[in-house]
Structure 1
Amino acid sequence: MVVGLTGGIGSGKTTVLNIFSNFNNVAIYQADIEAKKLMSNSLEIKKELINEFGADAYINNKLNRSFIAGIVFKDAAKLKTLNSIVHPAVEKHFKAFILSNNTKDYILYENAILFENGSDRFCDKIITVTAPEKTRINRVVKRDNTTEIAVKNRIKNQWKEEKKILQSHYIINNISLIETQEIAIRIHNILTNNQVYV
């Protein structure tokens, strides 16, 4: 079983992911981390990104994330192009991950843009993490040492929370850590038929 984990920027997906990582019968796949690895290591992706974004896409053979982010979060067409280069490779990698973790009770598939890029089609169940927009903006400004405007630009490229919630099986309103932990454990118990593995 594949369980999608998503939520807007600053909602606290990583906090929720860390709770699920305590269960030894769950395999965790983080799409964003795997995408970054592929963007750094795949010669094919590297070549396509340089063709599309120019030589500055890489510095000393390393992905220049801030340069690419500065382009794609202001230009929806460029973001779409970036996704069309990276997502097929991540999809292929994820399918191999599913096969190699078939003894686990379920795979938790963390993807910030699960709905936006159609990856919800791989999921049997979906968990969406939410928080008030002001809270999310404050978290990201503090975490990334960025500006409120930059965070709002990124939020604009993601689905609205309400739309995600309507298509999700479970919702975690991540404001209080204790409540978030309780809800995550309850969801895990439902997914594993109330067998607790900690």
Structure 2
Amino acid sequence: MLVGITGGIGSGKTTVVKLFSQFENVAVYYADIEAKKLMNTSLEIRKNLIAEFSEEVYNEEGLNRPFLAKIVFENKEKLKILNSIVHPEVHKHLQNFIKENKNRDYILYENAILFENGSHKMCDVIITVTAPKEIRIQRVIERDKVAREAVLHRMNNQWAEVKKTIQSNYIIENLDLTKLAKNVEIIHNKLTE
């Protein structure tokens, strides 16, 4: 069973995924982490990114993330192009991961843009992590050391929480760690019944 887990920036998806990953026989696929790895290792992605964004998209360390981020977070069309280059390779990688972990109780597929890129269609169950907007903004400012405007800009490139929650099987509000752990356990128990 493929369980998609998503949530807007700063919602605390990572915290929720860590709680789920403590259960035995659950495999976790982190789409963002794998995408970052693939952007540095896949020759197909590299070739297409250079063709679209110029040679400057890579430097001696690998992917020039600040250069690429500046382009795509200021231009929704460029963000769509980036996703159209990276997403198919991540999808192939995920399919291999699913095959390798087919004996698990379920696979947790963490993806910040699960709905935005259509990946929700392949999930059996969807969990959305939420938190109030101001809390999310503060979390990202503290975590990424960025200005409020930068956080708002990123938020504007994601679907609104309400749009995600109405299409989800489970909604987890991430405000209190004790309640959070209890909610995760309840959902895990339902998924493994």
Shorter-chain TM range is: over 0.9
Task: Determine the structure 2 residue equivalent to 1:91.
Answer: 91
What residue is the counterpart of 2:141 in the other structure? 141
Aligned match of 2:59? 59
The aligned residue for residue 4 of structure 2 is 4
Equivalent residue number for residue 158 of structure 1: 158
Per the alignment, residue 171 of structure 2 pairs with: 171
SS of the equivalent of 2:129 reads: strand
Counterpart amino acid of residue 32 in structure 1: D
Counterpart amino acid of residue 64 in structure 1: N
Q: Provide the C-alpha distance between the structure 2 equivalents of 1:51 and 1:61, rounded to a whole number of angstroms.
A: 19
Structure 1 portions without partners, runs of 5+: 194-198
Aligned equivalent of 1:38: 38
Supply the distance in 2 between the matched residues of 1:66 and 1:107 (Cα, whole angstroms): 32
CA shift for structure 1 position 142: 0.5
* Structure 2: stretches of 5+ with no match in the other structure: none
Q: Share of identical aligned residues, percent?
A: 60
Aligned to 2:126, the other structure's residue is in SS state: strand
Distance 1:70 1:147 in 2: 14
Q: 1:109-167, CA deviations, whole angstroms, 9 ceiling, x for partnerless residues?
A: 00000000000011000000000010000000000000100010110011100010000
Residue 22 of structure 2: aligned partner: 22
Offset from partner CA, 1:18-48 (integer Å, 9 cap, x none)? 1011012101000001101100001121111
Following the alignment from structure 1 to structure 2, what is the Cα–Cα distance between the partners of residues 72 and 178?
37
Partner amino acid for 1:183? N
Structure 2 partner of 1:185: 185
**How far, CA to CA, are the matches of 2:61 and 2:19 in structure 1?**
35
| Cα separation, 2, equivalents of 1:25 and 1:83 | 31
Query: How many angstroms apart in 2 are the aligned matches of 1:115 and 1:65?
Result: 23
2:33 partner amino acid: I
Give the 4+ runs in structure 1 shifted more than 4 A: none
**Which residue is 1:111 aligned to?**
111
1:124 aligns with 2:128: no
Secondary structure at the counterpart of residue 142 of structure 1: helix
- Count of aligned pairs between the two proteins: 193
The residue aligned with 1:196 is none
Tell me the SS of whatever aligns to 2:171: strand
Following superposition, the deviation at residue 59 of structure 1 comes to 1.4
| Pairwise CA distance, 1:61 | 4.7
Kindly report the root-mean-square deviation, in angstroms, between the aligned alpha carbons of the 2 structures.
0.7
SS at match of 1:10: coil
How many angstroms apart in 2 are the aligned matches of 1:45 and 1:142?
Answer: 31
2:74 is paired with a residue whose SS is: coil
What's the TM-score, normalizing by structure 1?
A: 0.96
The alpha-carbon deviation at position 170 of structure 1 amounts to 0.4
- The residue aligned with 1:76 is 76
